[in-house]
Structure 1
Amino acid sequence: MEPDWEDQARTIIRVELVRARVNYKELAWRFEQMGIQETAANLSNKVARGRFSFAFFLQCMTAIGVTVVDINGAVSGAMLMKVPEGDNEGEV
């Protein structure tokens, strides 16, 4: 069975947001500090789709403050953390 790559990408970002206690509004502010204009709603939508560039993934990790990503740990850890969907732009 082939992994759902989009689901895994989405899950990794959500797990790291939860770990760092950063919501999409805060993430948008951090992007702004990096010179990148994104709204909280736009960030939430991009992550929810799971279809984004690796550059966007790196921007997210940098904004969150993540320097090392354990791909297997993040995906399997999400099952334990039960990462929320984050429909609201203020939530993760």
Structure 2
Amino acid sequence: MVVACVKRNWNVEARVLLKREMEAAGVGYAELSEALLLQGLCLSPKVLSNKVNRGTFTMAFFLQCMALLKVDEVNLRR
């Protein structure tokens, strides 16, 4: 019996999820950058964009963004 392994790209999944929540909140990179700065995290909008688009951010960073975007629930399905 052969079992097929489907490899998911979790970095892509993370990127899509964060960008979807940013779009739903109507928040761009400049606004999120400013909000993160108030939390003590200094990332320019360009650096933030690169970080999000790589999808290699930590869960702590993701949760910080969700809190700033005022997201209470996240739907993991697309």
Bin of the TM-score, shorter chain as denominator length: 0.7 to 0.9
Q: Greater CA radius of gyration, 1 or 2?
A: 2
RMSD between superposed Cα atoms in Å = 1.0
Please state if 1:28 is matched with 2:33: yes
Identity of aligned residues (%): 37
Secondary structure of the residue aligned to 1:9 is: helix
Structure 2 residue ranges without an equivalent (≥5): 1-5
Shift of 1:26: 0.2
Please state if 1:59 is matched with 2:64: yes
Shift of 1:33: 2.0
Q: Corresponding residue for 2:11?
A: 6
How far, CA to CA, are the matches of 1:54 and 1:41 in structure 2?
A: 20
- CA displacement, residues 41-83 of structure 1 (integer Å, 9 cap, x when unaligned): 11100011111111111111112111211111xxx1xxxxxxx
TM-score (norm 1): 0.74
**Which portions of structure 1, spanning 4 or more consecutive aligned residues, are displaced by more than 6 angstroms?**
none
Q: Corresponding residue for 1:47?
A: 52
Shift of 1:35: 2.4
| Higher-RCO chain (CA-CA 8 Å, sequence separation at least 6) | 1
TM-score (norm 2): 0.86
Higher helix share: 1
Partner AA of 2:28 in structure 1:
N
| Number of positions where the alignment pairs a residue of Structure 1 with one of Structure 2 | 73
- CA displacement, residues 1-51 of structure 1 (integer Å, 9 cap, x when unaligned): 121101100000000010000000000111122222211111100011111
